[in-house]
Chain A
Amino acid sequence: MKFDTPATTNPIDQLKIVGKPVDRIDGPLKTTGTAPYAYERHDALEGVAYGYVVGSAIAKGRIKAMDLGRARAAPGVLTVVTAQTAGKLGKGDNNTARLLGGPEIEHYHQAVAVVVAETFEQARAAAALIKIDYERAKGTFDLASAKDGAPPAKDNPDTAVGDFDTAFAAAPVKLDEAYTTPDQAHAMMEPHASIAAWKGDKLTLWTSNQMIAWSRGDVAKTLGIPKDDVRLVSPYIGGGFGGKLFVRADAILAALGAKATGRPVKIALPRPLMFNNTTHRPATIQRIRIGATQDGRITAIGHESWSGDLPGGGPETATQQTRLLYAGANRMTKMKLAVLDLPEGNAMRAPGEAPGLMALEVAIDELAEKLGMDPVELRVLNDTQVDPEKPGRPFSQRRLVECLRTGADRFGWNRRQARPGQVRDGRWLVGMGVAAAFRNNMVMKSAARVRLETSGQITVETDMTDIGTGSYTIIAQTAAEMMGVPLHRVTVKLGDSTFPVSAGSGGQWGGNSSTAGVYAACVKLREAAATKLGFDPTVAEFSDGQVKAGGRNAPLAQAATEAPLVVEDAMEYGDLTKTHQQSTFGGHFVEVGVDAATAEIRIRRMLAVCAAGRILNPKSARSQVIGAMTMGAGAALMEELAVDKRLGFFVNHDLAGYEVPVHADIPHQEVVFLDETDPMSSPMKAKGVGELGICGVAAAVANAVYNATGVRVRDYPVTLDKLLDGMPTLA
């Protein structure tokens, strides 16, 4: 099915099941520990051997020699696989560095060997017996010092509209500031894990992966085998946030270990290996210049960003939102990409916008102060209903102003004191901050198979994944609404490469795109069922388990009395994303308390107001947003991979050193969704929320800290050591 004209009324608009805050259908499995994750498939196979990965101890250089003798001779060891023994390996389209290094080493903790043994304890002990001689090469590890020579990022050309330089120079009110955001880790709770088993030339991987079709292709490419010989199974994923978009070493090394031993092999990346072995969100240095009139209208806005990655990698696209968020006739963005020999940088929740808004939304707060304006009013004044680079191209929906106004109202924004450091509550200095949330809505082709079983049950199969987002539930809601059956009459099967190829989970496109694919397949099933029952498919209605048309009705199940009815279809997209800018919007409001003596920062209240099209399930969508707000709080206050600039690695590479928010850091969170449908996005009229929720949060926190203390921190994370020198004198 092709979606190339705006959606009109369709069966989803009944909203009998879609749009309801139903409990997740996978909830009973997850809360009882019976949902099987990748490493846990005792149900699927026996005789599994254990692999333990050895990571490189240098960041750049080569392996001179490896002594594997003692490891190979150790009790229980079945094999040791290295680049030397593995045979020729390719590299996946989505990988920057090779997943099995050696003799060349591209980054610290790049996998260089896997030991396979009868037990986990034996594999781990034997891995410690491998002796490697390295020849260290000089690497570049410091973004700040590599910044000046960094060339423009390939595939991300500079943008320019009007004459930024002249307009900025002429602006009566100017802001010109630099901001930095650090490297950050996804740190999902489930480590990257895989079990590999070969049957002849056919490989099955039970793995933890967000994008089944991409990764199936990359496994095949890396191993040099046909894609048809690879099956990926990933029904439950213990968090991803972008860190499991691509194939990682666990999958490839499990496949190689299984090939070498003739046994199924399971591997989980040890937690202390994950931070340097896998991908991370790259650090940025950003410069923002904004020129405005005395009454606050932006006349010039410029955003430049520097980031680094391994050779062949890409930039953190931190200037992305600045092209679309605020009006202004003269605008420019630039991205520079330095080569750094740190681990591979790649997508983490809202790549681009998350760090970009950490800077831009503090800059707007600073501009508001220069203008003597309320920061909500400054944002409202500079709203635009069209793409500011192409004024003929409207936004499909844009209710940023309503998000900000609603939020200000509910949060009690009018109680905020514009002058910082004025509000005291016992030992706490109290401040409020606001930021706009903005993230584009992408749509992706997505297919599904739906089956009307002889029992009347509906089964949906698609290789879509549920990484905690609620895919199982919203897909079941979609199929139930379309087929006119209750939710419990729908079975959803996900995450298997034998199912039709879906949009997958990434870029907050998964919810809208995957349900639109299920919608397309259900339209086909409705036609097939109606025809089978002798109804005119163009007028037949499906409700209460019945098909009705022309004053007559029949049970839906009757259409499958002889044999199940099976259909498959995909939703594909036309030009609507070109003619209309599709984005999601929000306003984040945060109140912090900063200890007047120690500068300890505590978040006291958080509110997000979001406009993101139809909300398919307000309960799971709200969870997406509060989770993103929590990750945003981490970005604001604690998350930072500390770079060892001499040896080239992330020093704090475990969950004790890389701090993420815990229960004690997060207060009760409020989320409001504006009632909205976007007929330009898909027949579901939905958009994404999972990334919108993190966009702007950190800036709202930083702005609240400024409002509380009068100390402006432009170097994330905002920690107490950066506040102490500037704290107001204790009364």
Chain B
Amino acid sequence: MVEQSDAGLSRRGLMAVGVASAAVASAPSATAAPAQDAPILATVTLEVNDRKQTLHLDTRTTLLDALREHLKLTGTKKGCDHGQCGACTVIVEGRRINACLTLAVMHEGDTITTIEGLGTPERLHPLQAAFVRHDGYQCGYCTPGQICSAKAMLDEIKAGVPSHVTADLSDKPKLTEAELRERMSGNICRCGAYSNIVEAIAEVAGGLVKGEPA
């Protein structure tokens, strides 16, 4: 294991140097690993983009991997697999979620919309067309997540769901620039297309309401 007396680190010493290095020690450890049983399989039926899909899956399969690897719907992207980037955003039962943070078997009967369900290259959804017009993307990898997120986000504003920057919780939230930027902040774009993404979304939403800067 990592603790070696020649480096002056005993197990006790290693624990003392902090959480991060403790994680280093546990990564290759075999003690906590499960027994070598065959994977547990389960059957789940999802309604993806208006089509019923029945899958027999290892129960460890995330919704993201069910979509990408089993249904071959690779429009939903894996950026971090840890709920930190938003590239895997899909709409489940009308709400946006990170598909990497949920297991497929938890979604029996659920209605799921992915980027492929919004439009096709020949028939773009208005958000997709606006992203093209405003150049709201560069490498394209976060783009499906941004678009799915934007669609659900606009519905959240309509439904009166408040956010961190909503000043008055008793008032219906408005689509200000601050609200839009705050609500889209779970979708990282490392290419830095934010300025254009906001303009694309605002155009589809019929313009921004003027508000206080964040």
Contact = CB atoms under 8 A, between A and B. Distances in A.
Contact of B141 (A75, A238, A271, A660): A238
Q: In this complex, which of B38, B124, B140 has the most chain A Cβ atoms within 10 angstroms of its Cβ?
A: B140
B9 A663 contact: no
A23 B142 contact: no
Interface stretch (B82-90, B154-162, B167-175): B82-90
Contact of A136 (B2, B131, B141, B188): B2
Interface of B: 1-2, 4, 6-7, 9, 17-18, 20-21, 24-25, 27-30, 32-34, 36-39, 58, 60-61, 65, 68-69, 72-82, 84-85, 87, 114-116, 118-122, 124, 128-129, 131-133, 135, 137-144, 147, 177, 180-182, 184-199, 213-214
Contact of A189 (B28, B118, B141, B214): B141
A131 B29 contact: yes
A22 B32 CA distance: 55
A127 to B, nearest CB: 9
B87 A664 contact: no
9 contacts: A31-B137, A32-B75, A34-B75, A61-B4, A73-B36, A121-B65, A133-B1, A630-B194, A656-B82
A644 B24 CA distance: 12
Contacts of A37: 74, 77, 141
A177 interface: no
A545 to B, nearest CB: 24
Given A54-B28, A654-B82, 16 more contacts: A26-B140, A29-B140, A31-B129, A31-B144, A39-B78, A40-B74, A73-B36, A131-B28, A135-B6, A191-B79, A239-B139, A627-B138, A627-B193, A663-B185, A666-B181, A668-B198
Interface residues of A, number: 95
A239 B141 contact: yes
Given A23-B132, A70-B36, A656-B84, A669 B189 contact: no
Given A57-B25, A630-B192, A28 B132 contact: yes
A154 interface: no
A664 B214 contact: yes
Nearest to B183: A663
Interface centre among B137, B141, B144, B196 (most CB of A within 10 A): B141
A142 interface: no
A272 B17 contact: no
Contact of A57 (B2, B129, B188): B2
B138 A32 contact: no
Given A28-B132, A30-B143, A121-B61, A629 B192 contact: yes
Contacts of A604: 213
A706 interface: no
B40 to A, nearest CB: 10
B51 to A, nearest CB: 16
Q: Most A CB atoms within 10 A — which of B87, B121, B198?
A: B121
Interface string A599-639: 00010100000000000000110111011111100000000
A266 to B, nearest CB: 9
B132 A619 contact: no
Given A662-B188, A664-B214, A238 B140 contact: yes
A133 B25 CA distance: 11
A468 interface: yes
Contacts of B81: 270-271
Contacts of A134: 1-2, 4
A663 B115 contact: no
B138 A660 contact: no
